């Protein structure tokens, strides 16, 4: 048998095996448990510690304040099961001693809130017809590239006139356990327990989840899946733009930055992202699986883990001197299941449970606030040594209150984009 025949035989065998592998029956697990872990630095957004949403930005820029502070940690624990509870739902996550949060965290089943009736026009309740425009910039560099800004007229969109090419790339956003998709559900933090995650605690060690509506879940986390280190985000003026730089965050799979703001007296909302192509980016400000991050790095939407700086273009800074900056470092993801998937494709896989642990590290700041992250901001806000006077025509100060355009823009984006 010659080499060509051998090669053809191997290709044929592989082709015959592929359908068999794809035909394995995989049933959903009885219980799914997700741990969503975040390390947040800069301007915190309350108890969750997560990167602020557009609604958070609107509140901050309208003078609601966000407070200062160093990095913080947060966890979101969610258990969904296809079983009914034997009586009142009860579950708890037994945590490693190194987390320094006691022996366990209770997973409470929330009371179902009545659904709000949708408006006849399909828009969310309290939605008001937006004004102004959305100006979108993108890319790293002191000067914006050609074709920028991309302009969206809110009023025209509300009338159904969607500009061509507005919705482009599809982002694989994960959907975890939820009350609506589970027969019984529990989560933490909750009204019963909202203990703050300790700054020196560790997730490393054995974890066990027990409840009267799910199988016992046991798994172990290594150092690779511990809290990520904080993002130390620094800013400095670079011509008319703002140069961002950050530390090389351990285990980061990639980075993404975005900013939104306005100018006093204007109804325009101005948006920028670090993507090399136009990308609105709101769906990127959350946990993403490493495979999805790798794809977005290849497509130059997400910055590679070796990149540690990016310059916000001067055109964006001029159009939005009062802007809010968000940054994310995507982390690792751990997946466990029991029993393991059978090697024989003819054997159905009926997992009792599946666990996902996902990690990210985020930062937020007022764009143009020069210094090295939270420490520099704390020094300036306290009037200590090295406090910098506001630059004329520069970035917003902590107490800045830009025009109502940002709040209008947030309302519009929430309604038109479904956030």
Q: Kindly indicate the confidence band of residue 231, based on its pLDDT and cuts at 50, 70 and 90.
A: very high
| 391 or 215, higher pLDDT | 215
> Which tens digit of pLDDT belongs to each residue from 251-273?
999 999 999 998 888 888 999 99
- Separation between Cα atoms, residue 304 and residue 308, nearest integer Å: 9
Q: How many residues does the chain have?
A: 419
Q: Tell me the whole-structure pTM to 2 decimals.
A: 0.79
- Other beta carbons within 10 angstroms of residue 145's beta carbon come to 14
122 has a pLDDT exceeding 70: no
- Separation between Cα atoms, residue 20 and residue 31, nearest integer Å: 27
165 has a pLDDT exceeding 80: no
Largest CA distance in the chain: 83
6 has a pLDDT exceeding 50: no
- Residues in CB range of 258: below 8 A, 6 or more apart: 271, 272, 273, 274, 281, 282, 284, 285, 325, 326, 327
For the sheet with 31-42, list strands across it: 150-153, 133-138, 269-273, 254-262, 322-338, 353-366, 31-42, 72-81, 184-188
Mean pLDDT of the chain: 79
Question: What local confidence, expressed as pLDDT, does residue 116 receive?
Answer: 55
Q: H or E element: which one contains 242? A: strand 241-245
> Which tens digit of pLDDT belongs to each residue from 329-362?
999 999 999 999 999 999 999 999 999 999 999 9
Question: What local confidence, expressed as pLDDT, does residue 170 receive?
Answer: 82
């Amino acid at each position: 048998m010659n080499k060509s025949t051998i090669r053809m035989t191997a290709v044929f065998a592989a082709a015959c095996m592929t359908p068999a592998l794809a035909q394995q029956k995989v049933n959903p697990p009885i219980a799914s448990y997700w741990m969503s872990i975040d390390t947040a630095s800069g301007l915190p957004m309350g108890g969750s510690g997560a990167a602020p949403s557009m609604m958070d930005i609107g509140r901050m820029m309208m003078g609601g304040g966000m407070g200062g502070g160093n990095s913080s940690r947060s966890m979101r624990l969610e258990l969904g099961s296809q079983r009914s509870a034997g009586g009142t739902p009860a579950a708890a996550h037994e945590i490693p001693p190194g987390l320094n949060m006691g022996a366990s965290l209770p997973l409470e089943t929330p009371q179902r809130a009545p659904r709000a009736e949708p408006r006849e026009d399909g828009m969310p309740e309290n939605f008001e017809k937006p004004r102004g425009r959305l100006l979108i910039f993108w890319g790293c560099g002191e000067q914006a590239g050609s074709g920028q800004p991309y302009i969206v007229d809110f009023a025209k969109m509300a009338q159904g006139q969607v500009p061509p090419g507005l919705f482009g790339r599809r982002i694989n956003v994960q959907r975890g356990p939820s009350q609506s998709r589970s027969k019984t559900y529990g989560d933490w933090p909750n009204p019963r327990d909202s203990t703050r995650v300790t700054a020196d605690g560790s997730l490393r060690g054995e974890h066990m989840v027990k409840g009267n509506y799910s199988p016992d879940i046991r798994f172990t986390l290594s150092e690779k899946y511990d809290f990520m280190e904080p993002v130390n985000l620094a800013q400095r003026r670079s011509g008319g733009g703002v140069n961002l730089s950050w530390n090389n965050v351990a285990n980061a799979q990639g980075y993404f930055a975005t900013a939104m703001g306005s100018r006093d007296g204007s109804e325009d909302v101005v948006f920028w992202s670090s993507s090399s192509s136009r990308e609105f980016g709101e769906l990127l400000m959350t946990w993403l699986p490493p495979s999805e991050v790798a794809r977005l790095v290849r497509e130059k939407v997400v910055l590679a883990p070796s990149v540690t700086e990016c310059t916000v273009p001067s055109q964006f800074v001029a159009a939005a001197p009062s802007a809010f900056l968000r940054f994310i470092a995507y982390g690792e993801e751990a997946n466990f299941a029991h029993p393991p998937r059978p090697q024989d494709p003819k054997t159905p896989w009926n997992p009792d449970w599946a666990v996902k642990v996902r990690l990210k590290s985020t930062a937020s700041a007022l764009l143009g606030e020069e210094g090295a992250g939270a420490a520099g901001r704390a020094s300036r806000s306290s009037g200590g040594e090295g406090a910098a006077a506001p630059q004329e025509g520069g970035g917003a100060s902590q107490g800045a209150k830009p025009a109502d355009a940002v709040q209008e823009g947030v309302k519009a984006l929430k309604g038109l984009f479904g956030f």
